[in-house]
Every structure is written in C-alpha cells, then in structure tokens.
Structure 1
Amino acid sequence: MPRPTPSTALSKLRVLDLSRVRAGPTCARIFADFGADVIKVESPPGFDPNENMSGARHGYDMQNLHRNKRSLTVNLKTPQGQAILRKLIEGADLLVENFRPDVKDRLGLDFETLHKLNPRLILVSISGFGQSGPYRTRAGFDQIAQGMGGMMSVTGLPGQGPVRAGIAVADSAAGLYGALGAFVALQERATSGKGQWVQTSLLEAQIAMMDFQAARFLVEGTVPPQAGNDHPYSTPMGVYATRNGYINIGVGAEGHWRSFCTAIGRPELADDPEYDSMEKRLPKRPELRVMFEDILRQHDSAHWLAAFEAAAVPAGPIYAVDEMFDDPQVQHLGIAQAVNHPVLGDYRVVGEPVTLSRTPASVATATPEAGEHNDEILAELGYDAGAVAELRRAGAI
C-alpha cells in the first residue's frame, strides 16, 4: 500500500534529519509537511542516554515534531551503521543536524567530508552559538539563548527582573531560519548544481527575533526596558481590564485614537490638547490607563470587543490555549490537524501556518515508532533481507 503523502510540493526531495530536541526537528518538519521524504535517523532504543530529551515517544512534543517522517535507527558507533549513513548521504538533498560543532567533526559530518560524498548535498547546521567563535562548543538551550539574546530583558513587568517567554522562541526561530536558508540554497543549487553549508544558531535567531528592539539600540543607542503588557511606544496599546476579564487594545495611529475615544463614549478626548498626539499620550500612560479602565470596567469584554470592532479599533480577546482552539476563526483556518496513530488513536497536532493554493501542506502520518521504516529504507538502499538480518545481529540498526 503506498504511503500517504502530505503534499506533492517537495516530493522530489530527500531530507535526512539527524537532529533532536526542537530547532532541528522544526526545520525538518517543514519539509516533511510539504511532502519531502524526511528520514529521521536516530540511535536504536537504549543506545543514546539522551534519547528522551524531547520527552516520551508517544508524548505530545514528539508527536507534534516528527509527523510525516520515516524512522531509521542506525548505530553510528559501528562500521556498518556508518556505511548505511554514507549510502543515505549519497542520495540525499539535505541533511539537518544540531550536534555541537566539535561532535559533528568527530562523527565525520563536517561539510567538507559530506561535500566529497555528495557535492549536491545541502548541510543545515543549527547550533547553540554558531559554528565558530569562542562559544562554538557550548551546549545551547532555548532559555539560555533567550537570556543572551536580549529577550528576557524586555519581557515582563517593569522592574520585575528577567522573564522568559512562555514558548521556545529561540528554538523555533532557529528551525525556521534553518529552513529558510535551506530553501535559498536549494534555489541556488538549481543554477550551480552545488550544495552548500547553511548555518544558524539559537543565539542568532533570538537576536533576529528581537527585531525593532535590537534596531532601537543599534540605530538610536537606546537600551529598551521592560514594558510589561504595554507596547514600548504606542498607547493605548496593551492589556486592559474589563468588568469580567482582560482584552488587548491596539491603538497604533491617530485615526485609531479618534475611533477609540468615540467607542468608549469620550469623543472629546480625541482633540484634547493634553492627549491629541502619541508623543503627548505616552508620558501620561499611567493616568490614561486609570481613566480607561474605569470606563472599561463598566461592561464585559464581549461588549467592548463588539464596540471596538464596529469602530474599526484593533482589539482582541486573551485566550487560554483551549479557548484559542475554540475560536471560530482558528477553526476556520484549520491549523489544528487530525492524525491517526496505531497506539494513541486519533489526535490533533499543529499544522503549518502557511497555505499554498495548489500544493498545501498537511499531516498525513503520525510520528513513526523508532526504526519503523528500517526494512523499507534499507531495501531502497540495496540491502536484501539477509543483509538486514545481519545488520540487526551486529547491532548496527
């Protein structure tokens, strides 16, 4: 029976995913969701002391990160396992890895060695701090990158002290940037016929995600402080209390300001010389917050969201994750996608947040069991049943 494919967009590509935890698997998952043959190359169960760094095999994280992939278990400490990997590399388009640079060199997965095996191969290396420099051999984790990349210094309430973001920003961003670099390299290869080395790191990705806050310092020399739930330089833009909860309000331009004042029943504020420009309002944000929340607390969130929508004032609810997936627009977008697992049954994972009109991504198969596709992949590489049995006896797979 043919294996279900999530998309035809990248069906001609073969990707080797030698990564683990989050950044590398995120990169490879993009290719898998758009139909590339992504082979998750991993150690046989029990060989790697860190094999559960992403949680249990049947846990939510592994199931979300490795859907649409095939699994091949290879013991790279054996000559036979190394030979299998070389055969895979010879026919691959991309190899995604997030070993520390010194570990990669020791395993013979450096770009120079791989390029000799397959000149068309694109190596995507995602590290904590970069492939060179004084921190190249340090182990990197998302929260460490958040701290070093400036994010924890601008997150949280003023004076609170450093606060991590509630999601793995550096990890996920590094995976996205790795995929972006890989797509650029694939496009260039169509002209040159040659692969190249794509490099990114958690630290670089986190700094890039700082975006306007980082530019604020580089261009103006201003070190941005914590602003809590308020926008750094626009107001009223942030979290405001209503009678039964909180909502986000985003007044980003003077037209929004006039509409906002009308919507809350205070149209005279729009032309008040105390508040008639963002430059005047920003220093008076504390007193304005008291004024606005006195008004907003008179009605429920739903009332104000409807009023602001009618007045074309940007605003929105603040959801817990269960509420988020219940929202009609989220359901319309279909980003929660169903998949069936032979053990776990039916469940949903987070789909790709980009839609192509002809060849969209989808979730066709669940995360494979470790080594689920050993026989299938090894047969594609030319190993017959007897050779596969011998590899098992030798502990190579």
Structure 2
Amino acid sequence: MKRVLEGLRVVSFGLVISAPSAARMLCDLGAEVIKIEPHQGDTMRMIRPVKKDNRGKLQSGIFTALNCGEKSMALDLRTEEGQEIARKLILEWADVVIANFKPGTLAKFGIDYETIRNLKPGIIYGEISGYGQKGPWAQRGAYDICVQSECGIAAQNGPWGEKPHRVGFSVLDYLSGRDLVIGILGALHYRERTGQGQHVDISLYNSGVTVLEDAIPGYDMEGVIAGTVGSRHPSASPHNLYKTRDGYINIIAINNFLWKKLVTIMGRPDLEKAEGLSTGLERLENMDRIDEIIEEWTSRHTTDEIAEMMDAAGLPRGKLCTVKDVIESEQTRFWNMAPRIEQPFLGEVRINNCPIKYSEAETDIKGPAPILGEHNRDVVCDVLGYDPETFDQMKSRGVFADDL
C-alpha cells in the first residue's frame, strides 16, 4: 500500500525530541528523511532506556522510536566541506528542511532559509525553538521543562491546590513536533498552488499557550488565575480520579444527563435533585462533597466492576493504566500501536507506532533507526554523485564519522 507523502524529500537537522518527532511522523507518512547528525551523534542515542547490542555498543530505545525509518549522515558542519555537502543536499535533493537549533545557528553554516530561498524559492524550512525565531525571548536557551513553566502549563499541573510541577513527559517537544508537521503540510499545499516555499516557525512556547484550554478566557472574563487542578476540572464536577478497591478510575459526569445516570448506577437516585447538587454550577461549588460521595462508592468495588457498570450505562470512564497495561491492552493490539521492530545488531525493540490511520494509505513504521553515519557513503555517492575516492578522502579529513 502506498503512503501519502511518497516522493517527499526531507533533510532533518533535528536533535533530541521536538524536530525528530516531526521528522519521524513525516517518515511514517511516506517521506524520505535524511538525518544529519554531529560526529558524536544525537544526544538521544545515549539516553535511557539503553541496551548493549551484539557489538557491545549501547543502543537507545527512545532514539529508535524517534528516528525509525530514516537515514543517518554524520557530518561536521564546522568544516567548509561539511557545509558544502549540506548545502548541495538541500539545493539538489530536498523539498523540506527541518531543524531545532537555537535561532541563527543555520546561518553560521550558510544553510539558513534566507540564504537557500534565494537559490531555491520553492524550499520549505520548518524550525522549532523554545520561543520562536524572533521576538524578545528568541535567543534564550530552552528545554521542555523550562517552557512548561513559562507558558503556564506547569502552573496548572499538580495535585489540587498544591505545588505545581511539570507534566511527566516532554509534552511540549511532542506538541511542537506535531504543530511542525501541520505547518509543513500547509506549506506544501501552498507551494502546490503558488510554487512558493516558505519558512514555518514553531516554538514550544506558542504550542504550549494553545493548550491552556479555558485558562486564558477564564482570566479575561472572570479574573480567575488557573492553579493546580490534579484530575479535577475547574469548570465541572464530578471530574476526578477515584480510588477503587484495587486501583483508580476516572469518572466524569459534567451535565445533568450524565449525572442522573451516574447516581442511578451508584444506587443513589436521591442525589440527582439533592440540595446543592441539582445543577452543574451547584455541583461545581460542592465538588469536595461530590468527590467524597463517589469515592465512598468506588472504594467498595474493583476497578473492573466500576468500569463494567459504567460501560453498561453508557458513561465515560478511564481506568488508570500503567505502560504494561497499555502494551497488553486489546485496544493497543488492535491498532498495532506498540509493535516490535528489528533493530540492526540489537534484535527486536518495541516502540510506538504512528497514530494516523488512513483508509487508502499505509502509516506503519517503515524500518529500523539508523546507526550513526550508516548512510554517509550512500548519500554522498548515490544521491549527490561524488565518486567513492572523493568520499574516502573527505572522510579521512574528518568531514564524516560513523559508528559502524
């Protein structure tokens, strides 16, 4: 089965998570991706979980997940020859360039958008940074945890009314990666109609601000500064994670219709019209009381028992699952969302699959993640047309590196 982006050529300077997550999705959709790494490789190659392969070298599971299906070229961009190789690859081969360096870095190597667009007007550049390519904070260094604090996400994350903390994974790296994919697809559509390429500017900060949900209008309309909410919702109740006999389950009944169903299966129909509980606003004002009543009920049953009752009543619910539960879930297996792939020198590795499922096109993982510099010779000789002797000479001068 074909893929929707077959024929699209992407040069990725992406490192760590944000830009690589975008390149991975474009690759899943069919693009051919050449990843350009420094000689020491992407930092994620040494980030846990790691395992020794049959060469005695460590391979990283998260690097595999972020870069599967791509090609790797380890190129020293500090050298003139390295810059020339990168420039030639962009000008002669690429449709799209992806990067997540600090703003201005690509310009130091002579491969920035403004330089390349004058030579190739149809080129599309997609760059991710902490705070954007321009603006008052553009030159600030940034990691996901820093921007979670700056953009307002961390202030709402944590147990109700207690100390804020970061979301437990690099949510902004992945959000900005998805936003970059959307931006690139839009730029490709625009180029198809006009012939004109463009620069797509994505920042962790802007991606974070877009998911603050009701916090921005809440402050503007009511003067409320959103704080930590835990599993509660500041605008609706019941909306929480409740303890059962053997675990936890999310229960949400945010309107009168769902509230009536919930109190019925609880065996407490008297609560439907009880004083202080008959409307959504009243239930919001009495969420402590509601949570206490519901948890008194859930604590007498197992998680599965609660889930079965709610399913039978057509009520939404969410069992608290570990990653082991997720991997073993019939839902995950049905959609093949955690398949095993064969990684060179290592064997089978289980990673996440593409979440996009088309009716007429394939999106499953295209292949393993590359070994550092695995495709140096292929790219230089087969794609760019250099003869093998020239490649060997450049390699001897330190332009290329590999871990083969």
Task: Identify whether the pair has TM-score above 0.5, normalized to the shorter chain.
Answer: yes
Deviation at 1:219, TM superposition (A): 4.5
Question: In 2, distance between residues paired with 1:194 and 1:390?
Answer: 38
2:230 is aligned with 1:235? no
Distance 2:131 2:46 in 1: 19
How far 1:316 sits from its partner (Å)? Answer: 1.9
In structure 2, runs of 5+ residues without a counterpart are 51-57
Q: Tell me which residue corresponds to 1:14.
A: 9
Change (3 A) 1:218 1:94: farther
Encode CA deviations 1:324-361: one digit per residue, 9 max, x unaligned.
11121122121112210121101221111110111121
Structure 2 match to 1:289? 291
Is 234-243 or 197-206 further displaced after alignment?
Answer: 234-243
Specify the alignment match of 2:106 in structure 1.
104
Distance 1:138 1:216, change over 3 A: same
Corresponding residue for residue 69 of structure 1: 70
Aligned residue in 2 for 1:189: 191
TM-aligned CA distance change 1:83 to 1:201, over 3 Å: same
Provide the rounded CA distance (Å) in 2 between the counterparts of 1:164 and 1:359.
37
Percent same amino acid at aligned positions? 30
Matched residues in 2 for 1:68 and 1:201: separation? 25
Residue 25 of structure 2 is aligned with which of 18, 23, 30? 30
SS of residue paired to 2:59: coil
Between the aligned partners of 1:203 and 1:70, the Cα distance in structure 2 is: 30
Match of 1:396 among 380, 394, 399: 399
- Counterparts of 1:150 and 1:65 in 2: how far apart (Å)? 27
Task: Give, in whole Å, the separation in 2 of the partners of 1:126 and 1:240.
Answer: 38
Question: Residues 71 and 310 (structure 1 numbering): CA distance in 2 closer, same or farther, change over 3 Å?
Answer: same
Distance 1:134 1:52, change over 3 A: farther
Please, what TM-score do these two structures have when normalized by structure 1?
A: 0.94
Q: Is the 8 A contact 2:45 2:63 kept in 1?
A: no
Within 1, Cα distance between the matches of 2:352 and 2:119? 36
In structure 2, the partner of 1:3 is none
Q: What root-mean-square deviation, in Å, do the aligned CA atoms of Structure 1 and Structure 2 show?
A: 1.8
Query: Following the alignment from structure 1 to structure 2, what is the Cα–Cα distance between the partners of residues 7 and 219?
Result: 49
The one-character-per-residue Cα deviations of 1:297-328 (angstroms, maximum 9, x if unpaired) are 22211111101111111112101111111121
**1:259 maps to which residue?**
261
Between the aligned partners of 1:88 and 1:102, the Cα distance in structure 2 is 20
Shift of the 51–170 alpha-carbon distance from structure 1 to 2, 3 Å rule, reads closer
1:54 is displaced (CA, Å) by 5.2
User: Structure 2 CA distance, aligned partners of 1:282 and 1:346?
Assistant: 49
Secondary structure of the 1:319 match is coil
Residues paired across the two proteins, number? 390
The residue that corresponds to 2:139 in the other structure is 137
Deviation at 1:276, TM superposition (A): 1.0
Determine if contact 1:89/1:118 at 8 Å carries over to the other structure. no
Give 3-state SS (helix, strand or coil) of 1:316's partner. strand
Deviations 1:40-71 (CA, angstroms, capped at 9, x unpaired): 0112237x9x6867566611110110001001
SS at match of 1:167: coil
Q: Secondary structure at the match of 1:228?
A: coil
CA distance in 1, matches of 2:110, 2:81: 15
User: What TM-score, normalized by structure 2, do the two folds share?
Assistant: 0.92
CA distance in 1, matches of 2:312, 2:107: 60
CA positional deviation for 1:27: 1.0
Alpha-carbon contact 1:22-1:54 (below 8 Å) kept: no
The residue that corresponds to 1:127 in the other structure is 129
TM-fit CA distance, 1:116? 1.9
CA distance in 2, matches of 1:308, 1:266: 14
Counterpart check, 1:214 vs 2:200: no
Cα deviation for residue 119 of structure 1 reads 1.4
Q: Secondary structure at the match of 1:184?
A: helix
